[in-house]
Amino acid sequence: MIMSALPIIPPVAIIAIAFAGAIVIALAASRPSLRDTLCWLFPLPFFIAILGYIEPVVSGAGPTQTLLTLVPGLDIAFAARPLGLVFTLLASTLWMLATPYALGYMKKGGYQNIGRFMACYAIALGAVAGIAFAENLLTLYLFYEILSISTYPLVAHTGTEKARAGARTYLAILLVTSVGLMLPAMVWLWQATGTLSFSSGGIMAGQVSDTTAAVLLVLLLLGIGKAALMPVHRWLPAAMVAPTPVSALLHAVAVVKAGVFSVLTVALYIFGLDYLATLITQPIMLYLAVFTMLAASLVALHQDNLKARLAYSTVSQLAYIVTGALLATELAAIGGGLHMLMHGFGKITLFFCAGAIYVASGINTVSGMDGLARRMPLTMLAFFIGALCVIGLPPTGGFWSKWYLVSGAWEAGYFVVVGAFMLSTLLNVAYLMPPVMRAFLRPPPSDDPVNYQVNEAPLLCLIPLLITAAGTLVLFVLADPAYQLLSLGVP
Amino acid sequence: MNLTELMPFSVLIPLIAAPLVALLPGRVAPWLVASASAISALAIAVATWIGVSQAGVLRYAFGNWPPPIGIEYRVDAANAFVALLITAMAAIMLIWGRATVNREVPERQGAFYALFLLAVSGLLGITLTGDIFNVFVFLEISSLATYALIAHGGDRRALLAAFRYLIMGTVGATFLLIGIGFLYIMTGTLNMVDLAERLPAIGESRALQVGLAFIVVGLALKLALFPLHLWLPNAYTYAPSLVSAFIAATATKVALYVMLRFIFTVFAPEYSFSALPLAMAFTVLAIGAMFAGSWLALLQDNLKRLLAYSSVAQVGYMVLGVSFGTVLGLSASFLHLFNHGLMKGALFVAAGIIFHQTGSVRLDSLRGLGRVMPWTLTGLALAGLSLIGIPPTAGFISKWYLISAAIDAQQTWLVVLILLSSLMALAYIARLVELAWMQPRPADAPQVSEAPIGLLAPLWLLVLANFYFGIDTRLTVGGATAAAEALLGMGG
């Protein structure tokens, strides 16, 4: 295989590529052409290095590395596992696509401070790699916080009063939950078990009382605010004040998937699925996730602002993955992992389209999209495919993740959850299809400025969104390798 | 010369250099001699630290008078650790502070640097000595020097601040002296080791109890433990930048160290905690400090005053660690003592640079400053992360140990309070970040430029130290644990 020819570099080096990229891009901020070249350049070695991990992880010997020992038993350490590999593959692939999109969008939209913007973007991706390859909860927490902080300037990028208020909500909720709930849960866990390492089957069974474990589950699930479980989901709609490339890569993929990745990791490797199923708070949190899934869909129905609608849709879809983790069966956990991948591709396509529509036509509401397909046929086609993926219809990858999630719920005997998945799918149709219908079937408004002329977004924006849309179709065929890879990591 | 004989010179070099510096004319010579003596003190402190980590305890008897007759310096892991902090801060601050002193104290700089050296020497003397009367003497040396240093502030309110500090500080020192008197009357000795041997024989005694109470209250005043902190905000706000930065990073820490020395070494912890309701008192006052300090910090419109109130809150964390009375709790206190020195040092240095460049530290003048002075403000923000306790900073390690200690001592409810107060720190730091970056620079704002590299380099040294000690914790955690064990008499 070609994969085996790829170099395998330590996890720290992968993170360092992204961080080094951030520094170099920041230093080149005043020279636009050099800066752009660097932005194009850094995602490539990052992606190739992660590709190099596929072979060792599949053969069961993912690279590991201990960077530092803080106290005996408490390390900053890394270990590549299947779930983390899927997450980084997703993030690094989409980073390569989001970079040209971001450059095209920011220039067309006349945004300032592109150097700072792209540098923070790179830091966020480095933090994602750190989260994905973390060997223990402390390392994960470390990079989780770096991700929160590095994305704050991105949300507040435009510096208007509205952007500042949104960024304040964003950072406040993320830090209050992580510092207020996740950190004490982690210290408590450390005091009780003497380890924070992720290991198959969990570290808690037999080490802590059932009551403690039940409380820890609640603390951790709400403490991982990036998973946007209600009632700590408000930061995600607030983050929509950011320029669309941020919403696309970070608030549809990197940040939110870091949240659900953490939830899956905690469920699999801290609690262990078998032990998780015995806790008294497990059904409570499961139904909270189901509630989030349905309630967020209902809220999405009423959003006229396209990005707000997509944001609430993300809250709902994240709850799918949390539900998958909390069903505590292997099939559902794999389904959750797959959904991370599929929804990532689908949702970034939708956001790319929303941004393209905004820069090309200035439209940001659903009600303004009448007849838009005549002006932006390719964008709307991609939007349609992305919507199919998020709804979970063939021939897109989203079909498979939903298939396994529903099967997992069925296997666990939670028929209410099966019903909720179905209901939510119908709601997905109800909030994602109207923009498509309006664009394709309704006539454009009579005062249409370009009057039936094709007027697509710049190529730098258009091509990435077509690639991600095609990606969702490819994933329909390639779902099996992803499934095989994920099942390696689920005991 | 062997290490035991070298060790006292970290106190003596600044002490001897001080009168010399006072006589030197001009601006360059006093600064050079002061910096050189601070750096030599640092070198000796490093050597002492290495020596202590190998030998355990270093003792030096002045004039070859054997203790308890003569004065003895007795250095173990606890004071070597604190001495390291003091000398490192003194050296960095002096190198950094030259430009700020030129601006804020244009005349008679010889006297200013001489006072600074006296303050350094006094703090080091308190730390290294093994004689309780000597503690009082050095406390007065450092305090008197500090009052005079604060009075050098350009604002007229500096005089009032110095005067208030003088009144409060003298009350504290007097309380300490009365306490020392009680101990001397009861035991006939002033040597700490000797006292520790003789005190248990006395048993239950009202006089000892009163003595301990006087000492604890006197030192609580010096370390600005809520509600005895009233002197601190004005003193930090109106002092010259160099002085604010140095005393914020060291002075309260030394007072805390010496209080711990009394509670844990001179009196045994079993005695201290049973003779007086210290655990209870420290818990309540620490919580009061954490919340009152953070709350008042939120209300300030002056950067230095905001940081000063934040110090009041941070002293609360250190005292909270002590209140558990466990090795882990005490380690957490020492760890935070060191880490807080690093973060507050960096923050006050940044404030000093802002004052040097813009002539104001009012929060209004920070508007939009992030784009004009990116290096300074980024340093400020990163040190702020450490203050909040976000990984990978030193502040996170402090919080981690403090929370661990609270859970270990089965005081889980305190975890909630620690976190709530951290979130208040988040609020006031976020406010600074927002002012500096997310608001436009007012049109009528004065033209300012980024500070020269000479001012920025020490700031970034401190900022990077905050990150370094958040990642590599061997020195800090190892040192703090050794210090706690030395105080509890477990390290030998």
Q: Which residues of A touch B400 (CB under 8 A)?
A: 187
Is A167's Cβ below 8 Å from some Cβ in B?
yes
- Please name the member of B400, B430, B471 whose beta carbon is closest to the beta carbon of A171: B430
- Please name the member of B407, B422, B471 whose beta carbon is closest to the beta carbon of A179: B422
Tell me what pLDDT residue A28 has: 85
What mean pLDDT do residues B139-143 have?
A: 93
Structure tokens at B229: 């902190």
The Cα of B424 is separated from the nearest Cα of chain A by a number of Å equal to 10
Inform me whether the pLDDT recorded for B308 exceeds 60: yes
Residues A231, A206: Cα–Cα separation, whole Å: 31
Is B450's Cβ below 8 Å from some Cβ in A?
no
Tell me what pLDDT residue A35 has: 86
Q: Are B76 and B56 in contact (CB under 8 A)?
A: yes
- Please name the member of B391, B404, B412 whose beta carbon is closest to the beta carbon of A141: B391
User: Which three-class secondary structure state does DSSP give residue B431?
Assistant: helix
Q: What is the pLDDT of residues A407-458, one digit of tens each?
A: 999 988 889 999 999 999 999 999 999 999 888 888 877 766 656 677 788 8
Q: Which residues of B touch A130 (CB under 8 A)?
A: none
In terms of Cα–Cα distance, which of A82, A341, A328, A81 is closest to A217? A328
- The 10 Å CB-count burial string (b at 16+, else e) for B45-56 is bbbbbebbeeee
Q: Which residues of A touch B473 (CB under 8 A)?
A: 70-71
Per DSSP, B263 falls in state I
The contacts of residue B16 (CB under 8 Å, 6+ apart) are none
Inform me whether the pLDDT recorded for B1 exceeds 70: no
Tell me what pLDDT residue B178 has: 95
Is B163's Cβ below 8 Å from some Cβ in A?
no
What mean pLDDT do residues B208-225 have?
A: 91
**Residue A24, exposed/middle/buried by CB under 10 A (0-12, 13-18, 19+)?**
middle
Q: Are A57 and A85 in contact (CB under 8 A)?
A: yes
Domain coordinates in residue numbering, chain A: 280-491
Q: What is the pLDDT of residues A446-479, one digit of tens each?
A: 766 656 677 788 888 888 989 999 999 998 988 8
Q: What is the pLDDT of residues B428-463, one digit of tens each?
A: 998 888 888 877 888 887 888 888 888 899 999 999
Q: How many CA atoms lie within 13 A of A19 on its CB side?
A: 14
Cα-based angle B123, B81, A190 (whole degrees, multiple of 5): 135
What mean pLDDT do residues B384-389 have?
A: 90
The contacts of residue B180 (CB under 8 Å, 6+ apart) are B132, B133, B135, B136, B190, B211, B215
Is A194's Cβ below 8 Å from some Cβ in B?
no
Could A164 and B408 be called an inter-chain contact, meaning their C-beta atoms sit closer than 8 Å? no
Best of A145, A155, A215 to disrupt the B interface by mutation (most B CBs within 10 Å)?
A145
Domain coordinates in residue numbering, chain B: 277-492
Could A180 and B423 be called an inter-chain contact, meaning their C-beta atoms sit closer than 8 Å? yes
Is B464's Cβ below 8 Å from some Cβ in A?
no
B380 residue type, one letter: L
Best of A19, A137, A173, A183 to disrupt the B interface by mutation (most B CBs within 10 Å)?
A183
Pairing of β B58-61 and β B72-75: antiparallel
Tell me what pLDDT residue B462 has: 92
Could B404 and A190 be called an inter-chain contact, meaning their C-beta atoms sit closer than 8 Å? yes
Could B385 and A149 be called an inter-chain contact, meaning their C-beta atoms sit closer than 8 Å? yes
Q: In chain A, which stretches have pLDDT less than 70?
A: 1-4, 447-452
The contacts of residue A43 (CB under 8 Å, 6+ apart) are A92, A95, A96, A99, A125
Could B391 and A191 be called an inter-chain contact, meaning their C-beta atoms sit closer than 8 Å? no
- Please name the member of A142, A179, A190 whose beta carbon is closest to the beta carbon of B419: A179
Residue B491: pLDDT band with limits 50, 70, 90: very low
Is B315's Cβ below 8 Å from some Cβ in A?
no
- Please name the member of A146, A164, A187 whose beta carbon is closest to the beta carbon of B400: A187
Is B197's Cβ below 8 Å from some Cβ in A?
no
Q: For A187, which residue in chain B has the nearest alpha carbon?
A: B404
The Cα of B411 is separated from the nearest Cα of chain A by a number of Å equal to 12
- Please name the member of A76, A149, A164 whose beta carbon is closest to the beta carbon of B438: A164
Is A34's Cβ below 8 Å from some Cβ in B?
no
Could B407 and A191 be called an inter-chain contact, meaning their C-beta atoms sit closer than 8 Å? yes
Whole-angstrom CA distances from B16 to B19, B37, B41, B99 are: 6, 9, 12, 25
- Please name the member of B390, B404, B437 whose beta carbon is closest to the beta carbon of A149: B390
Within 10 angstroms of residue A339's Cβ, the number of other Cβ atoms is: 27
The contacts of residue B148 (CB under 8 Å, 6+ apart) are B115, B162
Could B389 and A76 be called an inter-chain contact, meaning their C-beta atoms sit closer than 8 Å? no
Could A142 and B407 be called an inter-chain contact, meaning their C-beta atoms sit closer than 8 Å? no
Q: Which residues of B touch A145 (CB under 8 A)?
A: 390-391
Could B423 and A70 be called an inter-chain contact, meaning their C-beta atoms sit closer than 8 Å? no
Is B440's Cβ below 8 Å from some Cβ in A?
yes
Is A27's Cβ below 8 Å from some Cβ in B?
no
Best of A67, A71, A150 to disrupt the B interface by mutation (most B CBs within 10 Å)?
A71
Question: Which ipTM value was assigned to this complex?
Answer: 0.71
The Cα of B405 is separated from the nearest Cα of chain A by a number of Å equal to 10
Could B422 and A167 be called an inter-chain contact, meaning their C-beta atoms sit closer than 8 Å? no
- Please name the member of A145, A187, A191 whose beta carbon is closest to the beta carbon of B391: A145
Could A187 and B437 be called an inter-chain contact, meaning their C-beta atoms sit closer than 8 Å? no
Within 10 angstroms of residue A59's Cβ, the number of other Cβ atoms is: 10
The Cα of B241 is separated from the nearest Cα of chain A by a number of Å equal to 29
Is B400's Cβ below 8 Å from some Cβ in A?
yes
Q: Which residues of B touch A187 (CB under 8 A)?
A: 400, 403-404, 407, 415
Q: Which residues of B touch A126 (CB under 8 A)?
A: none
Inform me whether the pLDDT recorded for B492 exceeds 50: no
Cα-based angle B344, B345, B348 (whole degrees, multiple of 5): 80
Could A179 and B426 be called an inter-chain contact, meaning their C-beta atoms sit closer than 8 Å? yes
Residues 298-337 of A with CB under 8 A from B: none
- pTM metric for this prediction: 0.83
Tell me what pLDDT residue A406 has: 92
- Please name the member of A142, A184, A191 whose beta carbon is closest to the beta carbon of B391: A142
Structure tokens at B290: 């954490």
What mean pLDDT do residues B279-299 have?
A: 92
Could A168 and B434 be called an inter-chain contact, meaning their C-beta atoms sit closer than 8 Å? yes
Q: Which residues of B touch A70 (CB under 8 A)?
A: 397, 473, 477
Q: DSSP string of A285-317?
A: HHHHHHHHHHHHHHHHHT--BHHHHHHHHHHHH
Tell me what pLDDT residue A172 has: 87
